[in-house]
Amino acid sequence: MSGSVMMDANDAIYGGLAECYITINGRRCNFMSMTKFESKWEVNITDVPILGRVGMGHKAAGGKGTWSGTAHYNQSQFRKMADEYQKTGSMPYFEIQVSNEDPTSKAGRQTIILRGCLYDSFILAKFEAGEEIMDEELSGTFESWDMPETFQELDGFLTN
């Protein structure tokens, strides 16, 4: 399309430069063993019947936060949480903070802090003969989030 503004390839964010921290019981840890992470907020959409209309209306009515990721199998922090839970019945909530910033991108930095996180499944022990590097899948829920830093709008994003 002639004359249209296009994104500069350098403005794509390189994911390997992300930072990930978890805070459990006031103790902040650099969760550098994470190799993959995603969190999302799923909105519950409710059907709304409307008199005089053939089609349904829709309304946002709550939501649910989930997170998942992959980490190298080299830390025991979540297994300690599982141990505490099975011995006391108390599951500690924690926070996850993820920041993305690529110095080659004009987008800048974005930080998301997930609050009220719970872990939903615990790998207690594992091995695989011949496996060079062991990983583990992690997942759970969160109750809310904050976004103290947001990406900058790139040149050409606004059209009017």
Give pLDDT, residue 4: 79
Distance CA 56, CA 33 (A): 47
Centroid of chain to Cα 26: 20
Give pLDDT, residue 11: 93
Give the H/E segment covering residue 17: none
* b/e per residue 85-119 (b: at least 16 CB within 10 A): eeeeeeeeebbbbbbbbbeebebbbbbbbbbebeb
pLDDT in tens, the chain (160 residues): 566 788 899 999 999 999 999 999 999 999 999 999 999 999 999 999 999 999 999 999 999 999 999 999 999 988 999 999 999 999 999 999 999 999 999 999 999 999 999 999 889 999 988 878 999 999 999 999 999 999 999 888 877 7
Beta carbons of 110 and 151 less than 8 angstroms apart: yes
Give pLDDT, residue 1: 53
Give pLDDT, residue 57: 96
Give pLDDT, residue 5: 83
Which pTM value belongs to this model?
A: 0.89
Give pLDDT, residue 2: 60
